[in-house]
Amino acid sequence: MTETVLPEPSPLYRWLVLIFVSLAMFGSYYVYDALSPLADVLKQQLGFTDLDIGFLQAIYSFPNIFTVLIGGYVIDRIGLRKSLMIFGVLSFVGPAITAASSHLSIMATGRLIFGMGAESLNVAVVTALARWFRGKELSFAFGLNLTASRLGTFAALNSPTWARAAYANWRTPFLIALVFAALSLVGAAIYWFMEVWAEKNYSLGKVSTDKVVFADLWKFGVSYWLIVALCIVFYSAIFPFQTFAVKFFMEAHGTSREFGGFLSSMLTLFAMIATPLFGLWVDRVGKRALLMMFGSMLLIPVYLMMAYTHINLYVPMAMMGVAFSLIPAVMWPSVAYIVDQSKLGTAYGLMTMIQNIGLFGLNLLVGWANNFRHADASNPAGYRLGMWIFSILGVLGVVFAFLLRQRELGPHGHGLETITTGESEA
């Protein structure tokens, strides 16, 4: 009896998958960034300090020091659709708890639960894209997904403009965020049905059917760990800055909340446009480590420019925007060329776990630095210590990207500098 050979998924079906997993990411990104424009409102109405605000953002990352790696195991063991649904539910329940109380401990509990779901949701989506697009338009698909996700950030950071009246009270913006959190559930549910249908009608790559053992974590190789190191310093220089960015712009540069939110959202605006273009470009030219080194170099001067000069703020934010577009478009897809596909969920989970160690620590560190230097509208120089911390992270990013390039140009390379569209991994 002749076995029926199923075709590969059609391009249209793959791009529909991308749309709906990106919808889930859009919702979670909005919720994460809803805190930043609220920083001064929480300070005025609830008496929160910068360290309290840093704690609310840091607590999002804390559970992921442990649970994102578990999320990677869950993806590898129970499959993408079940994982996405579990993480989507947590991404909705958390924001509901945060909006329910003005007590710091309860709000932090909601942020913690949200973090457990949202970061694991991110790992699941990245793993899904690697399953559906590996060997095809992988970096381009990653770029489009990041664009859609960051549209959530853009909407949140500009909410003081389009939902100005909501900022009269601290709770209303959190309730708006809860509405967006529901999109994570919707996207996960639609993906569930699409994968079920596809398994009956298409030939899909396996995510994993093998037992993943802890010892595998030590077999990913030097290039993987250099990418992880770059990941932790890069995101630690970006997201903790955004936690305090609106407040910083208002107090150190005298902007309105609306304009401060727009300046912070410039990172997202750049990324929405340029990340997929950079992804398409790197698919064609390779040179991944070199491009990550260049992106890290852009970060070094921008914080000091904002701390010590009155340069037009569009300039440093545009430089950050280029870096924020380029490095993620290159970094996340690079892992798929280094790690075996059956271990990809675990590899991304481990990478995200370590990233969250940086985000947890840096949000607290910068919140402490602002308090220690008494940073506020009457003492804008108090923000300089935090800005130096961010610049040092940029220097470390250059070092790790340089070491990665040296490794990949040697006999143990995986082709990150040479693989282009249509080529298989080395």
Cβ neighbours for 281, distance < 8 A, ≥ 6 positions apart: none
Query: What proportion of the chain, given as a percentage, has pLDDT over 70?
Result: 89
Q: What is the pTM of this model?
A: 0.77
Closest CA to 359 of 71, 115, 37: 115
Residue-by-residue DSSP string for 246-269: HHHHHHHH---HHHHHHHHHHHHH
pLDDT tens digit sequence for 75-127: 777 778 888 899 999 999 999 999 999 999 999 999 999 988 887 888 788 87
Cβ neighbours for 282, distance < 8 A, ≥ 6 positions apart: 139, 288, 291, 329, 330, 333
pLDDT tens digit sequence for 125-138: 887 887 787 666 77
The tokens describing 7, both together, are: 């075709």
Helix (H, G, I), strand (E, B) or coil at 379: strand
Using CA atoms, how far apart are residues 32 and 49, in angstroms rounded to an integer?
19
pLDDT tens digit sequence for 160-214: 999 999 999 999 999 999 999 999 999 999 999 988 888 787 766 555 433 445 5
Query: What pLDDT sits at residue 346?
Result: 75
Q: What angle do CA 302, 231, 320 make, to 5 degrees?
A: 20
Query: What proportion of the chain, given as a percentage, has pLDDT over 90?
Result: 49
Query: What pLDDT sits at residue 214?
Result: 57
- Predicted confidence (pLDDT) at residue 350 exceeds the cutoff of 50: yes
Query: What pLDDT sits at residue 209?
Result: 32
Backbone angles phi, psi at 203, to 5 degrees: -95, 115
- Between 281 and 306, the more confident residue is 306
Taking a C-beta distance cutoff of 8 angstroms, is the pair 263, 241 a contact? no
Map out the domains of the chain as residue ranges: 11-408
Backbone angles phi, psi at 340, to 5 degrees: -60, 140
> pLDDT band at residue 408, thresholds of 50, 70 and 90?
confident
One-letter amino acid for residue 404 of the chain:
L
Query: What pLDDT sits at residue 144?
Result: 83
Q: Which CATH superfamily is domain 11-408 in?
A: MFS general substrate transporter like domains (1.20.1250.20)
Using CA atoms, how far apart are residues 285 and 224, in angstroms rounded to an integer?
21
Query: What pLDDT sits at residue 279?
Result: 81
Assign 3-class secondary structure to 337-362. Answer: HHCCHHHHHHHHHHHHHHHHHHHHHH
Query: What pLDDT sits at residue 112?
Result: 93
Closest CA to 246 of 266, 232, 231: 266
pLDDT tens digit sequence for 54-72: 999 899 888 877 776 676 6
